[in-house]
A and B are shown apart, each in its own frame.
Chain A
Amino acid sequence: MIVASPKPMEEIIDTVKDCKKLLILGCNECVTVCEAGGKKEVGVLASALRMYFAKQGRQIQIDERTLERQCDHEYLEEIRDIADTYDAILSLACGVGVQFTAEKYLATVVLPGVNTCFLGATEERGLWTERCQACGACVLAKTGGICPVSRCAKRVLNGPCGGSTNGKCEISKEVDCAWQLIVDRLTALGKMDEYEQIAPLKDWSTDRAGGPRKVVKEDVQS
């Protein structure tokens, strides 16, 4: 899923401070799972902002709404009749949701309420860690299911860099060396012969080198 974290309260206050009528718009998908922008977080943020502006002696109407998804036309249409009645929509969706909302409702200011961080997994309640950088050319088949692009600080593709100590990365003792994990996994699977093969030059044009990307699936297009 896409993992996000709430923006600092001061930053949010600064972006919405001139609004008289604000809609806080949550999303029921990834940001709900990572507890950054679901219905619960919409309610908590709305209460906090109401309290802040009440203390400032400011009258500001803050409404709450959470859509199934903000990255789909069909769900975003649900606010068609109310979107332009607000000075701003504070979207707690990922950057995709914020942009899709802004593209749909051109007359309303759409603001981000979270920082979109990475593609990751829930390791435990309250802990999400990165697993994928969407490079567009997956190498996991060769690396024991552990991604060197997202999990190695240097994104090296042919074994550890030399900064690995006791299985930990040189950038922090808290960070596992991805290549140590890969070697351990390939060893357990009896596939170390694959480790000996030099990876071909990585084609970064499927990453961001070629500009904004798109996926087209013609057989399902109408």
Chain B
Amino acid sequence: MQLRDKSEAGQFIVLAEMEPPKGVDVTDFTANAIRVKDQVDAFVVPEMNSAVMRMSSLGASLILQSKGLPTVMQVNCRDRNRLGLQADLLAAGAIGVQNVMAVTGEDPSFGDHHQASAVYDIDLIELLKAVRGMTQGKDMAGVDLAGAPSFYCGSTVNAGVKGKALQLEIDEMKRKIDAGAKFFITPPVFNMSDLSDFMEKAPRAEVKVLPTVLLLKSVGMARYIDRHSDHVSVGDALIKRIMSASDKGRECAQIAADTIQAAKNAGLDGVMIATLGWEHMLPQVLNLKPTEAQDVEQDDPNTSWGKHAGGK
């Protein structure tokens, strides 16, 4: 079942982020994806996350598509102008990519080529409109396409923001929806109750919201995220849980598995699992049985926003 059909049918979606290699050896990249192909609805292929130079999302998506693996190709405003973006979208459509995710892209100063100039010829709203226009058979100049692509298009929403910034984020989300976004991926969420303020205000009727489930790799990483990420909280309970575990790697995978279950219990529309280069851990995350709720001090069991609530 295609991602779009499954999503529109209201089924719980599991996406996995597959970081393309920095090089041409795609052995691990493809093997890691193939291992979990039956448990993942589509593979999100980032376009140079954090402005670190890697294989393009288009190229890496082509490799996965050629193995029969469905992808969500990411496109960003940072690296290409409207010509390049549309050209890549046409190529993606022609090779069978059915899903795209439009993002702004982090500033080059975050990455490993910090002297690079950024493009930002068009902004994210214009990019979303361009994707929709192409699916309707027109390019951004209004010229007819010889065959229109069919894309299920999503974007990101910073669901962790609080206070005044939250209203701005909700307004921006509405603009993205008006421009054609059908699903939204949030930054990492470790405790579903952190989404309460957002979910109360989010215009969820027409779109799907998928939190990122980030695989922690160590206590240090958990602490770092907790202290330094403005809108992401890991929480003391999870940090203690990793600290007291004899097999910390397994415990981190177990936490990810539990977070997926918590998202399902909370009635969210799905998850995107991000492993930041540890895609070989995806089978473990997906195969571990979630811890029984009463055994873990992880989340508020009353957190629930929708149709998947209570479901296992």
Residues in A lying within 8 Å of B, measured CB to CB = 201-205, 207-211
The answer to whether B115 and A211 have CB atoms under 8 Å apart is: no
10 A-B pairs with CB atoms under 8 Å apart are A204-B115, A205-B108, A205-B109, A205-B115, A207-B117, A208-B117, A209-B109, A209-B115, A209-B116, A210-B109
Instruction: Tell me the total A-B contact number using a CB cutoff of 8 A.
Output: 26
Chain A: minimal CB distance from B88 (Å): 21
The answer to whether B107 and A204 have CB atoms under 8 Å apart is: no
Helix, strand, loop or mixed for chain B's interface?
loop
Does B148 belong to the interface (CB within 8 Å)?
A: no
Chain B residues near A207 (CB-CB < 8 A): 117
Chain B residues near A208 (CB-CB < 8 A): 117-118
Q: Which residue of A lies closest to B109 (CB)?
A: A210
Residues in B lying within 8 Å of A, measured CB to CB = 107-109, 114-118
Chain A residues near B117 (CB-CB < 8 A): 204, 207-209
Chain A residues near B116 (CB-CB < 8 A): 204, 209
Chain A residues near B115 (CB-CB < 8 A): 201-205, 209
Q: Which residue of B lies closest to A137 (CB)?
A: B115
Q: Which residue of A lies closest to B107 (CB)?
A: A211
Q: Which residue of A lies closest to B117 (CB)?
A: A204
Chain B: minimal CB distance from A123 (Å): 29
Chain A: minimal CB distance from B157 (Å): 23
Q: How far is the CA of A173 from the CA of B183 in the complex (A)?
A: 48
Chain A: minimal CB distance from B312 (Å): 47
Q: How far is the CA of A202 from the CA of B113 in the complex (A)?
A: 12
Report, nearest first, the 9 A-B pairs whose CB atoms are least far apart.
Answer: A204-B117, A203-B115, A209-B117, A205-B115, A210-B109, A209-B108, A209-B118, A204-B115, A205-B114
Q: Which residue of A lies closest to B115 (CB)?
A: A203
Q: Which of B108, B114, B115, B118 has the most CB of A within 10 A?
A: B115
Q: A205-B109, A209-B116, A210-B109 are in contact. List 11 more A-B contacts (CB 8 A).
A: A201-B115, A202-B115, A204-B116, A205-B108, A208-B117, A209-B108, A209-B109, A209-B114, A209-B115, A210-B114, A211-B109
Q: Which of B107, B116, B117 has the most CB of A within 10 A?
A: B117
Q: How far is the CA of A203 from the CA of B115 in the complex (A)?
A: 5
Q: How far is the CA of A211 from the CA of B108 in the complex (A)?
A: 10
Q: Which residue of B lies closest to A201 (CB)?
A: B115
Chain A: minimal CB distance from B171 (Å): 22
Chain B: minimal CB distance from A87 (Å): 27
Q: Which residue of B lies closest to A209 (CB)?
A: B117
Q: Which residue of B lies closest to A210 (CB)?
A: B109
Q: Which of A207, A209, A211 has the most CB of B within 10 A?
A: A209
Q: Which residue of B lies closest to A211 (CB)?
A: B107
Q: How far is the CA of A198 from the CA of B218 in the complex (A)?
A: 46
Chain A: minimal CB distance from B222 (Å): 30
Chain B: minimal CB distance from A205 (Å): 5
Chain B: minimal CB distance from A167 (Å): 28
Chain A: minimal CB distance from B265 (Å): 41
Chain B: minimal CB distance from A40 (Å): 37
Q: How far is the CA of A201 from the CA of B117 in the complex (A)?
A: 11
Q: How far is the CA of A17 from the CA of B116 in the complex (A)?
A: 43
Q: How far is the CA of A23 from the CA of B73 in the complex (A)?
A: 51
